[in-house]
Amino acid sequence: MPTFSVNGMNCGHCTKTITNAILAVDPSAKVETDIPSKTVKVSSEKSIEILSSTISEAGYEVTATGS
């Protein structure tokens, strides 16, 4: 499952913003966020590139991408 390290994801508002942005491009996506490790795991049919740019467009910097 693609995992993104997201700089600036500090609170529940951030996680909600990011989750909603991903759900806007893929309503069937499953999103797991973890604030202490600043990671977002996404189960989605969309590509890593699309998911990464979606997080960026929501206003957060993706510093690393893994799977």
Chain residues binding Cu ion by CB under 5 A are: 10-11, 13-14
The 3-class secondary structure across 11-63, one letter per residue, is CHHHHHHHHHHHHHHCCCCEEEEECCCCEEEEECCCCHHHHHHHHHHCCCEEE
Report in angstroms how near the CB of residue 19 gets to Cu ion at its nearest: 12
Q: Which is nearer to Cu ion, 39 or 46 (CB)?
A: 39
Judged by CB, which is closer to Cu ion: 48, or 56?
56
Residue 15 beta carbon to Cu ion: minimum distance, rounded to whole angstroms: 7
